[in-house]
């Protein structure tokens, strides 16, 4: 039934130190995260840096070791699949944050985009070239650029090459790890709209990881807010932006800038209010270690990490 189902995902990194590299403790990058992703929708993971949102995405695609938990993709458990050639790799792809380091500088665009095709499909050189040109056209680059090197492109164009590579195998799920945060603002909108376009065209599902709430609002149907490796609130975009329940979410949303100068004073006051509320209610919403409580449903889709006492 579920498309992607993540259950109680935990990713802990050992801290080595002392004599003989003993394990002194663990960094709990992701500590019990669960969510469901519906086909054709976009799920946004939001949080401050270090909240574990990227780690969650990388764990799903198999780049990070999973300490505990279960990931089901189209009703098949994929938690333990690490083999490079596994068919599952075809269906889940990733767009990386930094378009400057995610493309091999020594390879031509042709080789970069054709890499997944070479791994999974047997195509003749001619077919491969044709396919790559098709993909480049799809992402809005001229087909002649297949012989160029990555450094001959701008950041936005490079990110498009990354996207072309990710969609080459016609995946079902794309994990977009801050796909626009390394681009400048004028290019961000362009890439985002384009991502929406190909989502419609290819029937893609996105797991969209970002710290930028404006971007998330623009892209996502469902949103999960993360804090210190746990969810503090989860719900539809509407619920999160219009009826935030958790003080952390409230504070995040209050921080979204507004370009209307007339509202400046009002916003300032509102932010100060939220800030005081956050400080006063901090102990109610987080446990002794400063971690969020377990999620409790307050409506069918809206879950909030509220303390036991309510």
Partner 1 sequence: MVENSATAAVKTKEMIKTPSGFNIIWRELMRDKLALISLICLIGIAAFVYGVSLVLDQEEIVRVDLFAIYQSPGEDFILGTDYGGRDVFGQLIIGTKNSLSIAIIVTLMTGFIGVVFGLVAGYFGGHIDNMLMRILDFFNILPFTMIVIAFVAIVPTYSVLTFSIIMAAFLWMGIARLIRSKALQEKELDYIQAARTLGTSNFKIIFKHLLPNCSSLIIVTMTLNLAANIGLESGLSFLGFGFPEDTPSLGTLLSYARNPQTLEYRWWIWVPASVLILILMLCINNVGQALKRATDARQRRG
* Interacting residue ranges for partner 1, rule: CB under 8 A: 58, 61-63, 84-86, 89-90, 92-94, 96-98, 101-108, 110, 115-116, 119-120, 129, 133, 137, 142-144, 146-147, 149, 151, 162, 165
Residue 249 C-beta: closest distance to partner 1, Å:
30
Of 132 and 305, CB closest to partner 1: 132
Q: Listing from the earlier edge strand, what are the strands of the sheet with 92-95? A: 92-95, 173-177, 205-210, 42-47, 222-227, 230-236, 303-305, 295-297
Cβ at position 218, least distance to partner 1 in Å: 24
> Residue 148 or residue 211: which is nearer to partner 1 going by CB?
148
Nearer residue to partner 1 within complex by CB, 182 or 223: 182
Taking the complex as a whole, the smallest distance from the CB of residue 163 to partner 1 amounts, in Å, to 12
What is the crossing angle of helices 247-254 and 264-285, to 10°? 160
Q: How far is the CB of 126 from partner 1 (least distance, A)?
A: 9
The nearer residue to partner 1, 165 or 228, going by C-beta atoms, is 165
User: How far is CA 87 from its chain centroid?
Assistant: 22
Min dist. Cβ of residue 133 to partner 1 (A): 7
Nearest approach in angstroms of CB 159 to partner 1 is: 12
Q: Which two tokens stand for residue 78?
A: 């994929």
Nearer to partner 1, 137 or 197 (CB): 137
Report the residue number, 151 or 309, with the smaller CB distance to partner 1. 151
Minimum separation from the CB atom of position 147 to partner 1 (A): 6
Using CB atoms within 10 A of its CB, is residue 253 exposed (0-12), middle (13-18) or buried (19+)?
A: middle
Instruction: Kindly tell me the sign of the dihedral angle through the C-alpha atoms of 176, 178, 179, 185.
Output: positive
Instruction: Tell me the sheet residues that pair with 296.
Output: 304
Buried-exposed string 228-248: b where 16+ CB fall within 10 A, e elsewhere: bbbbbbbbbbebbbeebbbbb
Burial class for 181, CB neighbours closer than 10 Å (0-12, 13-18, 19+)? middle
Helix, strand, coil percentages (3-state) for the chain, rounded to 5, are 40, 25, 35
Closest approach, Cβ 98 to partner 1, in A, equals 6
Residue number, 21 or 310, with CB nearest to partner 1: 21
- Which residue, 149 or 293, is less far from partner 1 as judged by CB? 149
Contact 231, 35 (CB under 8 A): yes
Strand-by-strand arrangement of the 22-37 sheet: 22-37, 4-17, 68-73, 76-77
Q: How far apart are CA 239 and CA 234, in angstroms?
A: 9
User: How far apart are the C-alpha atoms of 34 and 2, rounded to whole Å?
Assistant: 13
Minimum CB distance to partner 1 smaller for 14 or for 25 = 14
Give me the least distance between CB of 130 and partner 1, in Å please. Answer: 9
């Amino acid at each position: 039934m579920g498309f992607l189902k993540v259950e109680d995902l935990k990713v802990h990194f050992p801290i080595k130190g002392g004599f003989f590299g003993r394990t002194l403790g663990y960094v709990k990058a992701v500590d019990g995260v669960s969510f469901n992703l519906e086909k054709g929708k976009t799920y946004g993971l939001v949080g401050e840096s270090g909240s574990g949102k990227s780690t969650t995405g990388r764990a799903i695609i198999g780049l990070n070791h999973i300490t505990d938990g279960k990931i089901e993709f189209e009703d098949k458990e994929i938690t333990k699949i690490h083999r490079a050639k596994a068919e599952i790799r075809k269906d889940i792809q990733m767009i990386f944050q930094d378009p400057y380091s995610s493309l091999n500088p020594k390879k031509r665009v042709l080789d970069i985009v054709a890499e997944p095709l070479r791994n999974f499909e047997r195509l003749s050189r001619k077919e491969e070239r044709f396919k790559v040109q098709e993909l480049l056209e799809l992402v809005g680059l001229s087909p002649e650029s297949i012989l160029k090197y990555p450094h001959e492109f701008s950041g936005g164009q490079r990110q498009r090459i990354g996207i072309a590579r990710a969609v080459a195998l016609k995946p079902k799920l794309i994990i977009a790890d801050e796909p626009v945060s390394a681009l400048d603002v004028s290019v961000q909108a362009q890439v985002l709209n384009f991502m929406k376009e190909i989502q419609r065209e290819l029937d893609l599902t996105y797991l969209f990881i970002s710290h930028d709430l404006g971007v998330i609002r623009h892209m996502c149907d469902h949103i999960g807010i993360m804090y210190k490796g746990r969810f503090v609130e989860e719900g539809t975009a509407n619920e999160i932006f219009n009826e935030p329940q958790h003080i952390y979410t409230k504070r995040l949303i209050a921080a979204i800038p507004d370009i209307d100068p007339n509202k400046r004073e009002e916003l300032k006051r509102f932010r100060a209010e939220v800030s005081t509320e956050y400080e006063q209610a901090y102990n109610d919403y987080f446990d002794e270690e400063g971690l969020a409580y377990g999620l409790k449903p307050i409506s069918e889709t809206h879950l909030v990490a509220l303390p036991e006492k309510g």
